[in-house]
Amino acid sequence: MRANTRRRLPFALAGLAVSVAVAVPLATAPSASAAEPVTVANHTFENNDTHGWAPRADETVAVSTAVAHSGTGSLLVSGRTRTWEGPTLSVLDTMDKGVRYTLSVWVRVAAGGGSTQARLSVERRTAGTPSYDQVVGNTNVSDGAWVNLQGQYTLAHDVEFLSVYVETASGTASLHIDDFVLSYVPATPIQTDIPSVKDVLASHFPIGAAISVPQTLGEHARLLSKHFNSVTPGNALKWDATEPTEGTFRFADADAMVDFARANGMEVRGHTLVWHNQTPAWVFNDASGAPMTPTAANKALLLSRLDAHIRGVVGHHGADIATWDVVNEVIDENQADGLRRSKWYEIAGLDYIRTAFRVTREVAPGAKLYINDYNTNVPAKRDKLYNLVSQLKAEGVPIDGVGHQMHVNVDWPSVSESEAMIQKFVPLDVDQQVTEMDVSIYTNSGESFPTPPRDRLIRQAYKYRDLFDLYKRYSSELTSVTVWGLADDDTWLDTFPVVRNDAPLLFDEQLQAKPAYWGIVDPTRIEATPTATVPTSPSVVPTTSAPPTTTPPPAGSCQVTYRVVGQWPGGFQGEVRVAPGQALTSWTVGWSFANGQRISQLWSGGYTQSGATVTVTNASWNGSVPANGSVTFGFVASWTGTNAAPASFTVNGAAC
Ligand code: XIL
């Protein structure tokens, strides 16, 4: 039940919705356009109305007319005695689980209060246990101007308490807030009539996505389970998430993802047990609480903490997680010995890596244990990693595999450099996986686009095509490929290495297939994929689905081109292009399979199959074909023994 009435946003915010015009051939179902945002709350603090905002503790919250971001009123919080005190609003009856909300509020320090840093957070409680989720991190604010805090939040757990609040990083200055807006964009349904990436790659390797709990809910969950058969919790298995204080383990998020994976028949990659980032400070503090120095006692303490951590985390998950990134990013190619000078290395030398692998093997004897790193295509780094793995394997350290992160971009690296990366490790007799692939649209940290330009998305698609072609050629070496995210609405590259709008994944912000998706699934469709994120002129919408370079057949002759796009044991992907030689307003294409082939999914049309006889009819958007035009549809089917092309076709009942 929602306490507030929903209404359309004021013009400025509604303008954030991306309008979509399709100006390319419709080789697949056109991407649905993004819906307009829906406002759930809009608090202006006019007429002495606090809209239910209250203090978190003993401070005072009241409407003020001293300053206002709009109108004449704002909300003033004064009498703060602790940094976490601030104005708070219950959103328990307002926010639904699994919906991605945008929260926006304007903040200003009260006159004479100078400057500080403010942040916007959500407090949630489940079974009495509170969690604090940051929506907008520390942001400079002062008494001289209004500053906007805006961020996204998805409630991913069942809660009995849920509230949003503003606090400061330090100090207890009085604050004004104004124009709080809570809104969301209704989810666009995913495309159900396109091939599943996991089916297309079925004969090669499992395909994974890095996720957090919100990706296991609603439309995101549908996209995830349709296309992927492996998941990697992107953050939930890191040390700061699993053991934030010594001996206290938290698995709620990881368990939610593992449960989802189990329910959907997916593998789980455990990422990661040892890393120099996202590790709490206590791990590196000595018995007295001071930062460790390299002594024998500190080394023993650190390794015992590592041992206990691995037993806690790996032991908790048991057989549910069969692959672990035991150590992450331990190589520094600029060191003569190739080892990163992390706290781990400083205190424990190489022994932290040896201990981590040995303990993990002991706790999970059946799991595959990986050493994972980025830039493993760069020859200097690749070779240092190779040397380390050879040394450790020679010592008997139980390393099963090398993980190549593959955080790459539209221009880099080349296929040959990536091939050399895989080849290098073949003699070591280790498994290899691509663990964190994404393809940034940016080639340097100085670039920034408000929306991804179409040419970058096309270049990105060819990079996905070329690298996946390489991976497929090496599928005897690669036991899994994972992309670092599900869709462009949630990617770490929006804040790394700088804050900007990146689009590195296979699906766009509305969860629709990008050219990058077709780069993997069917590269002939790359140029023809509608791009929801790039508004273009509708005046050039073509009337057929043929690629623009296709030469039309002579008028009057009907032609069908049948093609096996890819084939694997038991399955294949087919494509049918029909040039009817006369204008049609709807079409039905028929054929008979000679060898028992059976279609399991078909896109850009509807189909029935009765025995050997297949009948395909147009989709709602591609029924009309001009006299010199053509239409193309595709499908995935099973086969055994022989997979011959059909001998003849009919179009609207007549032989073609
Ligand atoms: C990233 C996560 O995606 C972010 O959400 C987090 O803020 C930082 O870490 N290499 C890795 C991953 O091994 O763990 C990183 O994940 C991305 C780079």
Asked whether 234 lines ligand 1 (CB < 6 A), one says: yes
pLDDT at 307 over 50: yes
Q: In whole angstroms, give the CA distance from residue 594 to residue 646.
A: 6
Please identify, by atom number, the ligand 1 atom nearest to the C-alpha of residue 485.
Answer: 3
Pairing of β 431-440 and β 407-409? parallel
How many angstroms does the Cα of residue 435 sit away from the middle of ligand 1? Answer: 12
Mutate which of 235, 275, 406 to test ligand 1's pocket (most atoms within 8 Å of Cβ)? 235
How many angstroms does the Cα of residue 234 sit away from the middle of ligand 1? Answer: 6
Q: Residue 408's pLDDT is what?
A: 98
Q: What share of the chain in percent tops pLDDT 70?
A: 90
Q: In whole angstroms, give the CA distance from residue 20 to residue 25.
A: 14
**Between these two residues, 434 and 188, which has the higher pLDDT value?**
434
Catalytic: 243?
no
Q: In whole angstroms, give the CA distance from residue 269 to residue 279.
A: 19
Q: What share of the chain in percent tops pLDDT 90?
A: 80
Q: Residue 629's pLDDT is what?
A: 81
Q: Residue 6's pLDDT is what?
A: 30
Please identify, by atom number, the ligand 1 atom nearest to the C-alpha of residue 210.
Answer: 3
pLDDT at 236 over 70: yes
How many angstroms does the Cα of residue 367 sit away from the middle of ligand 1? Answer: 22
pLDDT at 383 over 90: yes
Please identify, by atom number, the ligand 1 atom nearest to the C-alpha of residue 328.
Answer: 13
Write the residue with the smallest CA distance to atom 8 of ligand 1.
492
Catalytic: 373?
yes
Amino acid occupying residue 249: F
pLDDT, one tens digit per residue, over 157-178 is: 999 999 999 999 999 999 999 9
Identified catalytic residue from 199, 267, 329, 522: 329
Write the residue with the smallest CA distance to atom 3 of ligand 1.
492
Asked whether 240 lines ligand 1 (CB < 6 A), one says: no
Asked whether 449 lines ligand 1 (CB < 6 A), one says: no
pLDDT at 542 over 60: no
pLDDT at 291 over 70: yes
Tell me the backbone φ, ψ of residue 454, rounded to 5 degrees. Answer: -60, -35
Write the residue with the smallest CA distance to atom 7 of ligand 1.
492
**Between these two residues, 557 and 139, which has the higher pLDDT value?**
139
Asked whether 438 lines ligand 1 (CB < 6 A), one says: no
Q: Is 365 exposed, middle or buried (0-12, 13-18, 19+ CB in 10 A)?
A: exposed
Asked whether 435 lines ligand 1 (CB < 6 A), one says: no
Asked whether 235 lines ligand 1 (CB < 6 A), one says: yes
pLDDT, one tens digit per residue, over 106-134 is: 999 999 999 999 999 999 999 999 999 99
Please identify, by atom number, the ligand 1 atom nearest to the C-alpha of residue 435.
Answer: 13
pLDDT, one tens digit per residue, over 69-98 is: 999 999 999 999 999 999 999 999 999 999
**β-sheet bridge partners, residue 578:** 560, 631
Please identify, by atom number, the ligand 1 atom nearest to the C-alpha of residue 238.
Answer: 14
Identified catalytic residue from 325, 373, 488, 502: 373
pLDDT at 30 over 60: no
pLDDT at 506 over 60: yes
Asked whether 405 lines ligand 1 (CB < 6 A), one says: yes
Asked whether 462 lines ligand 1 (CB < 6 A), one says: no
Please identify, by atom number, the ligand 1 atom nearest to the C-alpha of residue 272.
Answer: 14
Tell me what the mean pLDDT of segment 179-186 comes to.
95
**Between these two residues, 644 and 173, which has the higher pLDDT value?**
173
How many angstroms does the Cα of residue 371 sit away from the middle of ligand 1? Answer: 16
Identified catalytic residue from 123, 178, 267, 436: 436
Tell me what the mean pLDDT of segment 402-416 comes to.
98
Mutate which of 213, 279, 436, 491 to test ligand 1's pocket (most atoms within 8 Å of Cβ)? 436
Mutate which of 484, 493, 505 to test ligand 1's pocket (most atoms within 8 Å of Cβ)? 484
Mean pLDDT of the chain: 90
Catalytic: 575?
no
Q: Is 23 exposed, middle or buried (0-12, 13-18, 19+ CB in 10 A)?
A: middle
Asked whether 360 lines ligand 1 (CB < 6 A), one says: no
Write the residue with the smallest CA distance to atom 4 of ligand 1.
492
- Under the banding of pLDDT at 50, 70 and 90, the label for residue 17 is very low
In order, the DSSP letters of 136-148 are EEEEEEETTB-EE
Q: In whole angstroms, give the CA distance from residue 587 to residue 579.
A: 11
Asked whether 436 lines ligand 1 (CB < 6 A), one says: yes
Write the residue with the smallest CA distance to atom 1 of ligand 1.
492
pLDDT at 11 over 80: no
The residue ranges of DSSP E strands in 36-126, in sequence order, are: 38-43, 54-55, 60-64, 74-78, 87-90, 100-109, 115-126
Contacts of 168 (CB under 8 A, 6+ apart): 80, 83, 86, 116, 117, 118, 119, 175
